[in-house]
Amino acid sequence: MGKELTLTPSAEEYKIVLPPPLVIFGCVKNDANEIISQGKITVGAIWQCGESLCWQRGSDWSKNFTDGKFEIPLRSAACQYALRLDLPDGRQIVSRNFDTNEGRVRYDFVVSTAEKSNLLTGMVYDPNGNPAQGVKIFTVKQGRGLQLQNGKQQYRDDAEKFITDSQGKFSMPAYNEKFKLVAISENAYADVNSYEFMSEPNIYLAKWGRIEGIAYIGSKPAEGQQIFAQIERQYFSSNDIFYHYLNTAIVDSSGKFVMEKVVSGKNSVSRILQSDDLQQITSTAYQTVEVVSGQTAKVVIGGTGRTIVGKIIWPNDELFTKSLWIGADLQPQQPELTKQTTRQQRGGIIVNTDGSFRGEDIEEGSYTLNINVYERQGRYGGMNTENQIIGKIDFTVPPIDSSNIDVPLDLGQLALEIISSKKALPADSNAPDFSVETSQKI
């Protein structure tokens, strides 16, 4: 079992004793003590104490069994682990949590023989109305999101998955909560909510759409750049049931790109920008295209804006000696625009930790670049909202024509105008002097 330690230089020799690895073994049987021969065990981890359980993906984190027995060694440093039993009929059982210092421990899964009668069954049909075999059905529930990219599941999502049989049928547990079903096949897709599925347990797939486009940086093809599109359809609800769908593609030498397996509806398409240290990511101004099932939509990205560069002069603050998380939001200075329109950026800007910045596809006009700087913390480099500075810079991009569209506009050094700041006080320290204004005399 791994162990995380903080070491400092010392004349004395460190002695590190590693605990034995956590090994969970056992069998799977029903409540009549009969062995259940087939199924899959998936590992879930709580990487840091206080975080939620996250089901892991990949062959290293799951194991199929054919004799009713399993043995799972776990050697990565974590706070706790858990196991999930997936049965061929769609049922799932989650174990207790295991501490990493338990060593070799036995845990048997016991499956109720009465529970199977409570399963829901459904049918999936392809766009031609025929039963669809091998379709993946993802179940999205409250607090358990799903991200799909180019027709495939991404990251360590907690969405449960079922697959249709040769007759297009599938079964799943009868949940006592609202859910959404997302059906994905090689040629088609569909999504239905729990009310729709309970009213009619049939899912009818629609053909994927398609996007063809051309991308430019200035007047030149954006060769090798990554394009992404995300659906604007609203998947959120008062129950926090949602999933996120996006497509990605790489621009070829002529500036062209193609996206297959696109969900029908309004898709926002733009080009991805990343910081030098790959820690910050944003996108250029997006174009909205209406994608129709079974058809190809056309789009052009860039070609009307200019590249800008410069450097922000950071204030003399201890925050800037730490690892930073930087967020930048570009807004045009046009107060006559509605709030909704103003939120649609007209270019993308990345700010690096040394203050240097680069923006691409920035059109003519005056802008405010709002900048949020946080201390980066934790295993995943999250924001420490107790140590932050919020500021802005203003700049103007002059008229753009063929003589300057491919020439980067150097804005030079710009001082950050601080709007607000926040600092966490060290333990046992006193707060600085402050004053309080009241509406009444005290």
289-302 confidence digits (pLDDT tens):
999 999 999 999 99
Task: Say if residue 401 is in the same domain as residue 381.
Answer: yes
pLDDT exceeds cutoff 90 at 122: yes
pLDDT band per the 50, 70, 90 thresholds, residue 91: confident
Indicate if 173 and 215 belong to the same structural domain: no
In a domain, 433, yes or no: no
The whole-model pTM stands at 0.71
Range of the domain at 292: 209-301
Q: Are residues 320 and 418 in the same domain?
A: yes
How far apart, in whole angstroms, are the C-alpha atoms of residue 280 and residue 24?
39
Mean pLDDT for the stretch of residues 254-280: 90
Same structural domain for residues 163 and 87?
no
Q: Which of 91, 115, 139 is the last residue of a domain?
A: 115
The domain that contains 362 carries what CATH number? 2.60.40
| Count: domains in the chain | 4
CATH code, domain with 258: 2.60.40.10
132/78 Cα distance (integer angstroms): 41
User: Does one domain contain both 146 and 193?
Assistant: yes
pLDDT tens for each residue of 337-358: 444 443 345 568 999 889 999 9
pLDDT at 430: 65
Q: Which of 50-54, 79-83, 321-325 has the lowest mean pLDDT?
A: 321-325
Query: Is 233 among the domain residues?
Result: yes
Same domain for 351 and 285, yes or no, is no
- Rounded Cα–Cα distance for residues 339 and 334 (Å): 10
Q: What number is the average pLDDT over the span 313-323? A: 84
Nearest to 172 by CA among 235, 115, 110, 114: 115
Query: What gap in Å lies between CA 349 and CA 380, rounded to an integer?
Result: 23
The reply to whether 17 falls in a domain is no
The answer on pLDDT for 120 being more than 60 is yes
pLDDT mean across residues, the chain:
86
Residue 200 pLDDT more than 80? Answer: yes
Would residue 437 count as lying in a domain?
A: no
- Helix, strand, coil: what percent of the chain each, to 5? 5, 50, 45
Average of pLDDT values for 353-377? Answer: 90
